[in-house]
């Protein structure tokens, strides 16, 4: 009989593609995990992994076991949840990473609703760009993250939020483009630009632009704009332009849009707080 513990170990290696990283996430030694998996392969009589120099991949048998193992774990989790369905006391910590996006208003409303019903829940929000959030997801420091743009990381599951953000141009008040109601994409070639660090998937023909600086969070970039270093590409509805600061925001045509996603590691085991949030989030999305 296969032990549930071994399925958790197997799924961790499949997710991390590394025994070392999987052992870190499971809080056990690498040697212990390696021996457990070797014994597991002998027990079922099948090779599950192709052990390369840099990463581990699954054999055909390993890929089959991954899908079945996840089904088993999900069933166990659902069964356990059923026993606790009548419990009103849910507590714990949710670690959430995100970039700067108006979509956080929607997410925060769910946080607030959960907090009202479950005072024992605590929410820890980390703000950073996509690279920062993914790095912390990799290290197991976050339960999930909110990312913008096309799905690009194969090791993750993406839940679309039905929310689209559009970029515009933030410029000094005396910039010639400030006289226009809408900035054409072609206009971007005529000004020094301050771009978000992950703009490569959003801005067409980026190599033809005069990029003078990059940023990961927009607030500090506003000072570069104010002091005449360039115009910043940033999301609309993100800045409250404070009176007295000579800054102007203009939309771009054709629009430069990005989709918002909740991103989680594949085959991840969630805490009670993370499970509750994802359940409530999916309910909200179904009603939209």
Of 96, 51, 150, nearest in space to 264 by CA: 96
pLDDT at 31: 92
pLDDT at 85: 45
Q: What are phi and psi of 15, to 5 degrees?
A: -75, -45
Tokens of 119: 């005072």
Cα dihedral sign for 30, 31, 37, 38?
A: positive
Q: What are phi and psi of 28, to 5 degrees?
A: -130, 170
Ramachandran quadrant class, 189 (left: phi over 0; alpha: psi -120 to 50; beta: rest): alpha
pLDDT at 61: 92
| Structural domains of the chain ordered from first start | 4-83 (1.10.10.10), 92-163+260-287 (3.40.190.10), 164-257 (3.40.190.10)
pLDDT at 51: 87
Q: What percent of the chain has pLDDT over 90?
A: 45
In whole angstroms, what is the distance from residue 33 CA to residue 39 CA?
10
pLDDT at 179: 92
Residue 2 near residue 65, CB atoms below 8 Å: no
* pLDDT range class, residue 79, cuts 50, 70, 90: low
- The whole-angstrom distance between residue 139's C-alpha and the CA centroid of its chain comes to 13
Q: CA neighbours within 13 Å on the CB side: how many for 31?
A: 0
Q: Identify which has the larger pLDDT, 87 or 155.
A: 155
Of 271, 198, 283, nearest in space to 233 by CA: 198
Mean pLDDT of 86-90: 56
Return all residues near 259 (Cβ < 8 A) that are at least 6 apart.
148, 149, 150, 160, 161, 163, 164
Tokens of 158: 């993406």
* pLDDT range class, residue 263, cuts 50, 70, 90: very high
In whole angstroms, what is the distance from residue 229 CA to residue 171 CA?
10
Q: Identify which has the larger pLDDT, 45 or 79.
A: 45
- Helix axis angle, 30-44 relative to 4-16, nearest 10°? 110
Tens of pLDDT along 245-258?
788 999 999 998 88
Tens of pLDDT along 99-151?
888 899 999 999 999 999 998 889 999 988 888 888 888 877 889 999 987 76
């Amino acid at each position: 009989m296969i032990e549930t513990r071994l399925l958790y170990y197997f799924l961790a290696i499949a997710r991390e593609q590394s025994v070392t990283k999987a052992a870190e996430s499971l809080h056990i030694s690498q040697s212990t995990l390696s021996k457990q998996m070797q014994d597991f392969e002998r027990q079922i009589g099948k090779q599950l992994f192709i052990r390369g120099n840099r990463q581990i991949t699954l054999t055909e048998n390993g890929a089959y076991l991954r899908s079945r193992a996840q089904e088993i774990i999900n069933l166990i989790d659902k069964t356990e949840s059923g026993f606790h369905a009548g419990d009103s006391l849910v507590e714990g910590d949710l670690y959430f990473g995100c970039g700067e996006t108006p979509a956080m208003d929607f997410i925060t409303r769910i946080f607030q609703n959960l907090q009202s019903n479950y005072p024992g829940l605590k929410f820890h929000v980390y703000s950073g760009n996509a690279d920062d959030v993914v790095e912390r997801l990799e290290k197991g420091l976050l339960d999930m993250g909110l990312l913008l743009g096309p799905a690009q990381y194969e090791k993750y599951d993406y839940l679309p939020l039905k929310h689209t953000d559009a970029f515009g141009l933030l410029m000094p008040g005396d910039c010639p483009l400030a006289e226009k109601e809408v900035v054409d994409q072609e206009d971007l070639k005529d000004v020094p630009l301050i771009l978000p660090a992950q703009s490569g998937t959003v801005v067409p023909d980026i190599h033809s632009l005069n990029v003078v600086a990059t940023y990961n969070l927009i607030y500090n970039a506003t000072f570069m704009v104010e002091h005449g270093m360039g115009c910043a590409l940033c999301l609309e509805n993100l800045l409250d332009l404070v009176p007295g600061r000579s800054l102007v925001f203009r939309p771009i045509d054709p629009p430069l849009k990005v989709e918002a996603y909740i991103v989680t590691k594949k085959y991840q085991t969630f805490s009670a707080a993370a499970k509750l949030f994802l359940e409530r989030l999916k309910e909200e999305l179904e009603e939209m």
